């Protein structure tokens, strides 16, 4: 499940990936369809959003009135040193403004605010954005941006992959609603899974098949198959949205076959034709290697892939734990086992999420 492209991004200074407009629109539409007033009269903060590249600010500015927003705040992070981004060019909005300062453009972050019909054309949109330089560089950990976080009702962004843990903690500290992008493998982080298990956060509506396409000023550094020279985009697998805003797909029960039907008819060779599902050596649970192979009539504990959470319905399933190194999972994991990862016939398997069906 480890995504080597995202791993490379986390280890690199080149940690700038910008989300496609249609992916943002698709995700936000899922929340609006579930609750038409989800953004109404709300102040939205979009940290880590350079207007030159980011579509988040463009989407919310263009849909300000349709969503019923009260205020939109977007902040960008400074380049700091011109030699870090020799290709850096300020946006037209900045460079054509009397406020433009080349030195500040590189060293200071910027704040964009939209809350009124500034040009008096009877609509609120991109043309009404007002901006100024921040006092600092725009780092989300600064007191300046923290104050904006505390002012906002909802925080939405694609933060640097390398700072995901810290950014999520920063949001959770605020107690605000949020939507943010990350690698699906972040589910395995102890602090993240704990939040999911306790129903504090969950996966969003999602990217198509978990594949996300990003623009980046460093696209050409990626190999063919990741970087597409025709589109100029890079493709990452296993990317997801994390959120604490409800949406309809989250409450759709997963259609499943019975245990006996899975053993007879499953499309997976690891299941079809077997006498029973495998059991773990170190857990009182059965191995279900594919989400669509979960037997609907099994009342015991099951180990499922982390990708299950993309289909997880809290009314249908109970999350019990994660089979990961260092996890205790008392009452399920057998005493004396060397670690928390699943073992079948003495062979260690990739980590699994422990679940049980409700109501059977």
Q: Mind listing the pLDDT tens digit for each residue in 176-219?
A: 999 999 999 999 999 999 999 999 999 999 998 888 888 876 76
- The alpha-helical segments, DSSP class H, found in the chain are 4-11, 21-34, 56-62, 64-67, 92-95, 102-107, 143-151, 164-174, 190-197, 259-265
Examine the pLDDT at 1 and tell me if it is beyond 60: no
> CB of 252 within 8 A of CB of 314?
no
Candidate from 135-144, 157-166, 327-336 with smallest mean pLDDT: 327-336
Query: Tokens in use for 31?
Result: 């929340």
Calculate Rg over the CA atoms of the chain.
23
Write out the two tokens for 113.
Answer: 């605010």
Q: For residues 207, 210, 213 and 219, what is the CA-based torsion angle, rounded to 10 degrees?
A: 150
Q: Which residue has the tokens 């939507």?
A: 179
Q: For residue 87, what pLDDT is reported?
A: 58
Task: Tell whether the model's pLDDT for residue 7 goes beyond 60.
Answer: no
Q: Which residue matches tokens 């941006």?
A: 145
Q: What global pTM score does this model have?
A: 0.89
Sign of CA dihedral 144, 146, 149, 155: positive
Rounded Cα distance between 316 and 289, Å, is 19
- Helix or strand run (H / E) with residue 317: strand 317-322
Rounded-to-integer distance, Cα 297 and Cα 63, Å: 45
Q: Are 261 and 43 in contact (CB under 8 A)?
A: no
- Here the tokens at position 54 are 């980011």
**Closest by Cα among 124, 143, 117, 57 to 93:** 57
The backbone region for 249, taken as left when phi is positive above 0, alpha when psi lies in -120 to 50, beta otherwise, is alpha
What average pLDDT score do residues 273-300 get?
96
- In the chain, the domains with their CATH numbers are 4-247 (3.40.50), 259-357 (no CATH)
Mean pLDDT of 113-127: 95
pLDDT at 262: 97
Residue 99, strand partner residues: none
């Amino acid at each position: 499940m480890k995504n080597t492209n995202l791993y490379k991004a986390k280890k690199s200074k080149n940690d700038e990936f910008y989300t496609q407009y249609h992916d943002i629109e698709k995700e936000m539409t899922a929340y609006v369809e579930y609750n038409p007033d989800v953004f109404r009269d709300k102040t939205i903060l979009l940290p880590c959003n350079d207007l030159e590249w980011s579509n988040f600010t463009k989407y919310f500015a263009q849909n300000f009135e349709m969503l019923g927003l009260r205020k939109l705040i977007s902040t960008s992070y400074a380049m700091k040193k011109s030699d870090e981004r020799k290709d850096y060019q300020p946006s037209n909005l900045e460079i054509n403004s009397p406020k433009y300062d080349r030195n500040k453009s590189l060293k200071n972050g910027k704040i964009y605010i939209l809350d009124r019909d500034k040009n008096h054309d009877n609509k609120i949109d991109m043309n009404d954005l007002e901006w100024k330089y921040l006092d600092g560089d725009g780092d989300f950990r600064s007191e300046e941006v923290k104050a904006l976080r505390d002012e906002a009702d909802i925080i939405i962004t694609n933060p640097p992959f390398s700072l995901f843990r810290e950014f999520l903690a920063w949001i959770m500290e605020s107690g605000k609603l949020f939507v943010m992008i990350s690698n699906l493998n972040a589910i395995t982080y102890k602090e993240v899974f704990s939040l999911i298990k306790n129903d504090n956060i969950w996966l969003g509506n999602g990217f198509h098949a978990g594949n996300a396409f990003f623009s980046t000023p460093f696209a050409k550094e990626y190999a063919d198959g990741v970087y597409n020279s025709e589109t100029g985009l890079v493709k990452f697998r296993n990317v997801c949205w994390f959120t604490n805003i409800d949406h309809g797909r989250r409450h759709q029960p997963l259609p499943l076959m019975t245990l006996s039907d899975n053993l007879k008819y499953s499309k997976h060779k690891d299941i079809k034709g077997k006498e029973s599902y495998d059991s773990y050596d170190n857990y009182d649970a059965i191995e279900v290697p594919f989400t669509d192979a979960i037997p609907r009539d099994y009342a015991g504990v099951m180990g499922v892939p982390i990708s299950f959470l993309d289909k997880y319905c809290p009314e249908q399933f109970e999350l019990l734990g994660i089979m990961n190194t260092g996890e205790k999972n008392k009452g399920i994991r057998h005493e004396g086992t060397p670690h928390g990862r699943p073992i079948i016939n003495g062979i260690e398997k990739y980590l699994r999420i422990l679940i049980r069906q409700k109501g059977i």
